[in-house]
Structure 1
Amino acid sequence: MLSEVELIALIKAGDINAFDEFYKRNWRALYQTAYRSTGSSDDAKDLVQTVFINLWNCRYSLQPDRYNASYLFRSLKNSIINFHKKDSVRKKSMDNLLYVEYGDQYTHEDNLIAKELSVVIEGEIRELPKKMQEVFILSRQQNLSVNEISEALNIAPRTVKNQLSNALKILRTKLGIF
């Protein structure tokens, strides 16, 4: 059985079998770490896949004598951080699109426009396909997480994310005039 350093040297040389062996040795530990962070099997698999794709893509710059297992976990950690940043930004941008606060800083005309926009948004939400509408309402109006929605509707977390993403695209397109 080859050592990790020997596998890295073979991977650097482009040996796909060495890469496969390296993948098999390290996949489970990375997956478990990603799953604990995301709570989603699909997202964890995607993150681990990204780590290995990145490793393969930069194989020529690997230094076998300097390589250690913490490289993979650092790469995974960065992928997880980016994943959470993107998820947070997505949710914030939609919240900003859909929820308008009413306050003293707004004029009477601003409040009327906001109310009109709210009615239009609600109408567009009702126009979404039934399952997409249900997922969207659970996420944005009842503030449920992807995993909570997944469990409540008995669908995969990836399906929930896809439904939310598609709903946002549809709403942005239809609400572009505002």
Structure 2
Amino acid sequence: MNLKNQILNKDILDDNELWAELKAGDEQAFSILFKRYYGCLLQYGNTFLPFSEKVQDCVQDVFTDIWVYRNSLSSTVVVKAYLLSSVRKRIVRLQQRDRVFNKSKSVDAIEFLFDFSVEHRLVSDELTAGKVMQLNKVLNVLPSRQKEALYLRYHNSLSVDEIAVILNVNYQSANNLLHRGLLNIRKEWKGDLTLLMMLLMNWI
């Protein structure tokens, strides 16, 4: 089998298989995971430091550490959640170092700054377009932690357990953030709940 075919075969491996091969020192597996998640991690990092070159540095540093310390990494991680959590922690440390936050503040102090913009591809009439504008407005006035929890749940398709790990809270606290966020949205939502869920699933 030539090198091109080997790379193509690895590209269809799932995260767990690639993680195992990465830990064994496989550079191709590392490269595929990097390409698979680099854009997602940049987008998440930009929710804390919008359009900052420092975000790129943080993401690249996370992958560098993964490669350097691969032998000591856990074999049983949810790769996407692990990467998101690692980027989040590194950005917090960067902000603490730069005195954006007092050193006494923890990972919980980081502010989620992302402005939601629900995808317009599925909008087929003026009424639905109005609902999209309404949902964007409601989402963007939610408390920071609720916004972040909803972003991780609907935009990144993470489980409550995975969200809890990223936010450094227990399962119940993560579930409460999601529940309160949805309650706040529904208080302001006038219309079909099916449409609401469809729009939530199409955040960008």
Report the TM-score range of the alignment, normalised by the length of the smaller protein.
Answer: 0.3 to 0.5
TM-score by length of 1: 0.47
User: Which structure is higher in helix share?
Assistant: 1
TM-score by length of 2: 0.41
Q: Which of structures 1 and 2 has the bigger CA Rg?
A: 1
